[in-house]
């Protein structure tokens, strides 16, 4: 179970990386900024989806 939680928070770290990179590249390249911010939002979505999936699949069955 702890391994699943570790990977969930990995998605938040990835989201943080992409959002910070997108903000830093905001003035230089707008296409990369949009792509980085999109990946950041997707990573946040994956965090909440994996959390919901883990709770429904593993913890509620016990």
Give per-residue pLDDT as tens, 3-37: 877 888 999 999 999 999 999 988 888 888 999 99
For residue 54 the two structure tokens come to 């883990």
Is the separation of the CB atoms in 21 and 10 below 8 Å? Answer: no
Lowest mean pLDDT among 27-31, 37-41, 46-50: 27-31
User: What pLDDT, on a 0 to 100 scale, did the predictor assign at position 54?
Assistant: 84
Choose between 31 and 48: higher pLDDT. Answer: 48
The number of beta carbons lying within 10 Å of the beta carbon of residue 27 is 8
pLDDT band at 59 (very low <50, low <70, confident <90, very high): low
Instruction: Provide the residue ranges of all domains of the chain, joining segments of one domain with +.
Output: 2-59
Choose between 56 and 4: higher pLDDT. Answer: 56
């Amino acid at each position: 179970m702890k391994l699943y939680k570790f990977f969930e928070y990995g998605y938040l770290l990835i989201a943080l990386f992409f959002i910070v990179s997108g903000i830093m590249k905001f003035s230089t390249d707008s296409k990369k900024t949009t792509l980085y911010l999109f990946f950041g939002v997707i990573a946040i979505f994956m965090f909440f989806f994996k959390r919901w999936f883990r709770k429904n699949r593993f913890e509620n069955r016990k």
